[in-house]
Structures are given as structure tokens and as C-alpha cells.
Amino acid sequence: MNIAQRDKITRRPASQEAPLSRGAFQVVGTVTIWIWVGFNALLLIWVAVASLKDSTAIFSQSKAFSLPSAPQWANYANAWVDSSIGRAFFNTLGVVVIASVVVVAISAPAAYALSRFSTRAASPMTSLFAIGMGIPLQATVIPIFVGFQGVGLVNSLTGLTLVYIAAQTPFTVFLLTGFFRSLPFELEEAAAIDGASVLRSFREIMLPLAKPGLITALTLNIVFLWNETALVLYLVQDDTKFTLGRSLLNLATVATYTSNWGAMFAGCVIVVAPVLLTYILLGRRITEGMTLGAAK
């Protein structure tokens, strides 16, 4: 038996092993994801049900997982009015919407320039934005606090909005740069032949094509900033200027002493519901935008 015949007998074709291996990993990954999704869905349902109970029923072994016979809608009134979740909701809405829109408005032209202009500085600048994503916010809190104290922006929603804009710009530029690179160059070349300027090509051609990426960036910024709490702990001390994360933390502290756990779970529902609704309405657009942005 020669060497070629022996290899033919002893070796198994790689093409038969690879699909089996990939298929096994795919099954395990899919099952793991669905288990995690199911666990989180059950947890959200339990929180929603607990928000309609009194504290005794929430921690009762016989009633902990049962539907309330008499829903305690007063828990939501206590959370919204008495615990100032309502005021924090509108504070958060204003800060998050303004910061997210400004971030996308700043990042879109910057990402377009980095993806289209072939200069020596373009690649290093893109890398610098990527590095900016890795800087933890906790490492910047003290310098920000000292700087804001000097200009009177501590304990101010305006200062918090500026910090949010600065914190989210690196991620948004990096995300949109990849998305703009996936768009075709031919349309811009045709517009340039017709006499369109770079600004006009960006405004009338690229921005409409980049709509999925812009919506993705806007949604991800809103979701992240909606749940942000760390910066508010350091930069805002006035109760009237608290955002939802800070107000919910206060509500949990109060519930520890007053045992008003129903109101605390109602506050959790108020905080989570807008984010969950956003994912339900825009989940497909988020997936499309991130997938197209990773095409190149």
C-alpha cells in the first residue's frame, strides 16, 4: 500500500468534520440564548406582577408567584408622585433625548469624513475614537467634577447632558464609520461629476442611505443613557434634578426602611418599560443597522 492510499483510508475529509462541529456549536449557542431569554422574560413578568401586590404578598411563599386578586394600582401612584419617579422621568427624557440627538448629529459628519477622506490622519483618528470607547467613565469622574465645579456646572442637568455627549461620541463615531464604509462610492462619484459638493453629497445622498445606521446609533445611545446612574451619583445632588436611575436607587433605599416594596417594583416597571418598548418597535432596525455596519 502506497502513501497516498494509506492517507486516503486513515484521513477523514475536513469538509465532513467542519459542518458537524459548526452545527453542534450553533445548537448549543441557540439553546443557551433561549434559556437566557426565558429567564429574563420570567424575571420581568415577576417584577410586573409584584408591582401590583403589597409587601406581604410579595414575600409570601404561597403568593409570591400568583396573580394578585386585588391589584394594588396605588403602588404606581406612590412611585410616580410620592417617590418623585415622575419628575425624574421627565428629567431623564429631556437629558437623554437632547444628548442622543446631539451625539448623532456630531458623529455622522465625523464618521463620514473618516470613512471617505483618504488622509494619513484618518486611520489614526479612527483608532483614537476606538481607544476612547475603552476609557472607563469612573476614571474621568474626578477631573470632570473639578472642571465643572470651576464653571458652575456641578448639580446641573446641562452639565450632565454635556458629559453624556462627550461619553457617547467615541462609540457613535466608531459605529457610524463602519456603516458609512459599507455604502457604495459610485453614487458620490456620480454626484461629483454632476457638480455636487461634498457637503451636498453627504446631505442629500449619504444621509438618506445611512438612515438605518443613524437610527441604530440613536437607539443604542438612548438605551444606554436611559439606564445610566454612575455619573448622576457624582454630578447631581439636588433631588429635583435626579434622573430615573438615581431616583430608583433612592426608592430602593427608602423601601428598605419602610417595606414599601410594591412601589419599588412599580418604579422598576416605569424605568424598564420605555426601553423594552423601544426594542420592540425598533429591534429589527437596530439589527439591520449593526449588520450593515459590519459588512466591511
Q: List the CATH number of the domain containing 278.
A: 1.10.3720.10
* Amino acid found at 53: K
261 within a domain of the structure (yes/no): yes
pLDDT of residue 295: 47
pLDDT of residue 103: 95
98 within a domain of the structure (yes/no): yes
pLDDT of residue 254: 79
Tell me the CA distances in angstroms from 18 to 22, 23, 26, 28, one per residue in order.
Answer: 6, 8, 12, 16
274 within a domain of the structure (yes/no): yes
87 within a domain of the structure (yes/no): yes
Please list, in sequence order, all residues whose beta carbon lies within 8 angstroms of the beta carbon of residue 280, skipping any fewer than 6 positions away: none
33 within a domain of the structure (yes/no): no
pLDDT of residue 61: 63
Number of structural domains, the chain?
1
pLDDT of residue 106: 92
pLDDT, tens digit, 9 for 90 and up, residues 99-145: 999 999 999 998 888 887 765 555 667 677 777 777 777 778 888 88
The sign of the CA dihedral 218, 222, 223, 229 is: positive
**Nearest to 225, CA basis, from 153, 168, 283, 155:** 168
pLDDT of residue 296: 46
Q: How far apart are CA 59 and CA 57, in angstroms?
A: 6
38 within a domain of the structure (yes/no): no
Note down the domain range covering 238.
Answer: 74-293
Which of the residues in the chain have pLDDT under 50? 3, 7-10, 14-15, 294-296
